[in-house]
């Protein structure tokens, strides 16, 4: 008689002795060991020094280096929730090896990320430098692209300025009606039960309406402060431009009448700028906010969201603000609207290493090209030789900026068919052709068409690797500054993965060569 098939012993209650060294728990080339070796190559003083300066009394904290590597590995594998990271420290073998079998709770993980977000953001440049040192970045061809990423907020939790005003009026009427009803009921219950007994739940109903009224009123005030600040910045730019024109006319020794007229315009523009500034400061105080920054944006700063507003700086009736994450904005992505942010990526063609990133709540891409160029120069140390970008970045100003910086730019002037090269335009270029026509002809040339075709193979896969492979389709943090820090963290871990695979492939090549 044939014996029944036997299986491996399964004894879940039996104690199993693990290997004596945690390094035997995972494969030798596991990413965790790469991160543990990487600690010595990173400058973590910005995280370590504040932690070491704390009061030495009390319970010992977790090593900041371990916490840093824990966050980096968590983002590498697409685990961003502090509660999920905590659970992984118990259940995932790789996390246990990385932490040395320690299990920080989710509140400590969340607090560490919040306190050190700026320092973690600075790791982007350090990792990029390591990629450059490894020969992974040449800046020969950089592709620029923007992708919309969902905010940690629902698009249904937004309200227009007009609806806010209506809701405030309606809630105020309901509160007054409930107050009158409560007074009548209180008098009746006092006669029936006595003044010390409570027989009605109306105060809770009132409290709910009053809380909602306060939230709506505060959101309206913050919206009005934001539009007033935007109007003040615009007025200041107009005043600076008018003063520059007046000064230029004076230096050119223009006719006295022309100088007088330009001086009058400059003085009028300065008066409007002063009034707009005072209104913006007053609106911020009314909303309980810090005085707004009304100075012109730095060159490398991402553009601010342009809320629809009237000439006097007040919001239009359809201007919206989200209650959950006011920094986010309603944006169109893949044919539908999301509550999110516009996340910019500049990617080098050699190994798909990200060389610069940025986040804004401004939906169009066109205003992002110049600040992204400045960020590439800052983070990578130089500007690219060639840059490609889709039609969202086209403008004559952007083409001029690239030309002035010595960049050979290929920016689509209109929507181009995917996978189908455009037929070359034959014949001489007309002498009166504008910059857009010249760029279109450049893209239709054999060389230009081949260069631009590389764009989708350089930057678009990076968006897929972040959103699909790692599942990072939505931000965890809220607010523009925190989201910017998280986007830097996502880009840092993308480059970490590229560096890990590059070094592993080099080691394998050496082993094959020596074997």
Nearest to 34 by CA among 513, 502, 353: 502
What is the pLDDT at residue 376?
96
Q: Which residues pair with 345 in a beta bridge?
A: 145, 357
- 34 — phi, psi (to 5°)? -60, -45
Integer angstrom CA distances of residue 98 from 48, 65, 494: 18, 11, 19
* Tokens matching residue 479: 């607010």
Whether 203 shows a pLDDT value over 70: the answer reads no
How far does CA 264 lie from the centroid of its chain?
42
Q: Are 202 and 182 in contact (CB under 8 A)?
A: yes
Residues 6+ apart with CB under 8 A from 175: 206, 209, 210, 213
Segment 83-135, tens digit of pLDDT: 999 999 999 999 999 998 899 999 999 999 999 999 999 999 999 999 999 99
- Tell me the pTM: 0.84
pLDDT at 1: 60
Lowest mean pLDDT among 204-218, 257-271, 280-294, 443-457: 204-218
Token couple for 144: 């620029």
Partners of 159 in beta bridges? 321
Is a pLDDT exceeding 90 seen at residue 377? yes
Q: Which residue has the higher pLDDT, 462 or 53?
A: 462
- Judge whether residue 150 has pLDDT over 80: yes
pLDDT at 294 over 70: yes
Sorted by sequence, the CB contacts under 8 Å of residue 393 that are 6+ apart come out as 144, 365, 366, 368, 369, 411
Token representation of residue 135: 């020969």
What residue ranges do the domains of the chain occupy? 22-115, 130-153+326-504, 158-286
Q: In the structure, what pLDDT confidence band is assigned to residue 189 with cuts at 50, 70 and 90?
A: low
The superfamily (CATH) of domain 130-153+326-504 is Ribonuclease H-like superfamily/Ribonuclease H (3.30.420.10)
Rounded to an integer, the average pLDDT of 507-514 is 81
- pLDDT band of residue 199 (cuts 50, 70, 90) is very low
């Amino acid at each position: 008689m044939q014996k029944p098939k036997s299986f491996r012993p399964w004894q879940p209650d039996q104690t199993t002795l693990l290997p004596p060294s945690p390094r035997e728990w995972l494969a030798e080339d596991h990413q965790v060991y790469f991160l543990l070796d990487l600690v010595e190559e990173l400058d973590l003083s910005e995280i370590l020094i504040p932690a070491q300066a704390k009061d030495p009394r009390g319970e010992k904290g977790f090593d900041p280096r371990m916490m840093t590597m824990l966050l980096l590995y968590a983002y590498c594998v697409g685990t961003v929730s502090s509660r999920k990271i905590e659970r992984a420290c118990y259940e995932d073998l790789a996390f246990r090896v990385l932490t040395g079998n320690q299990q920080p709770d989710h509140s400590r993980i969340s607090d560490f990320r919040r306190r050190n977000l700026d320092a973690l953001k600075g790791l982007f440049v350090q990792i990029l430098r390591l990629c450059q040192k490894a020969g992974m970045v040449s800046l020969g061809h950089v592709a620029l692209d923007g992708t919309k990423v969902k905010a940690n907020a629902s698009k249904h939790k937004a309200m227009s300025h007009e609806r806010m005003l209506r809701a405030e009026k309606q809630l105020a009427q309901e509160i007054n009606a409930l107050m009158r009803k409560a007074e009548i009921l209180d008098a009746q219950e006092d006669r029936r039960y006595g003044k010390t007994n409570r027989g009605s739940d109306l105060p809770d109903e009132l409290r709910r309406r009053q809380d909602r009224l306060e939230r709506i009123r505060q959101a309206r005030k913050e919206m009005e402060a934001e539009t007033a600040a935007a109007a003040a910045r615009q007025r200041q730019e107009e005043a600076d431009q008018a003063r520059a024109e007046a000064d230029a006319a004076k230096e050119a020794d223009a006719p006295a009448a022309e100088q007088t007229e330009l001086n009058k315009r400059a003085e009028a523009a300065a008066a409007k700028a002063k009034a707009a500034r005072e209104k913006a400061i007053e609106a911020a105080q009314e909303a309980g906010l810090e005085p707004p920054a009304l100075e012109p944006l730095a060159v490398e700063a991402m553009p601010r969201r342009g809320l629809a507003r009237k000439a006097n700086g007040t919001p239009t009736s359809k201007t919206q603000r989200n209650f959950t994450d006011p920094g986010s904005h309603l944006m169109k992505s893949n044919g539908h609207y999301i509550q999110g942010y516009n996340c910019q990526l500049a990617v080098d063609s050699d190994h798909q290493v990200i060389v610069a990133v940025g986040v804004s709540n401004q939906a169009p891409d066109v205003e992002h090209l110049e600040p992204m160029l400045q960020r590439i120069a800052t983070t990578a140390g130089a500007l690219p030789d060639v840059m490609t970008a889709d039609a969202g970045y086209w403008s004559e100003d952007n083409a001029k900026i690239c030309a002035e910086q010595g960049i050979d730019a290929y920016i689509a002037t209109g929507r181009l068919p995917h996978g189908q090269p455009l037929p070359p335009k034959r014949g001489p270029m007309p002498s009166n052709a504008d910059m857009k026509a010249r760029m279109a002809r450049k893209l239709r040339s054999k060389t230009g068409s081949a260069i631009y075709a590389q764009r989708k193979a350089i930057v678009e896969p990076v968006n897929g690797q972040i959103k699909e492979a790692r599942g990072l389709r939505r931000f965890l943090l809220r607010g523009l500054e925190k989201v910017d820090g998280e986007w830097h963290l996502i880009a840092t871990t993308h480059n970490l993965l590229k560096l890990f695979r590059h070094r592993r492939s080099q080691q394998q090549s050496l082993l094959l060569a020596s074997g």
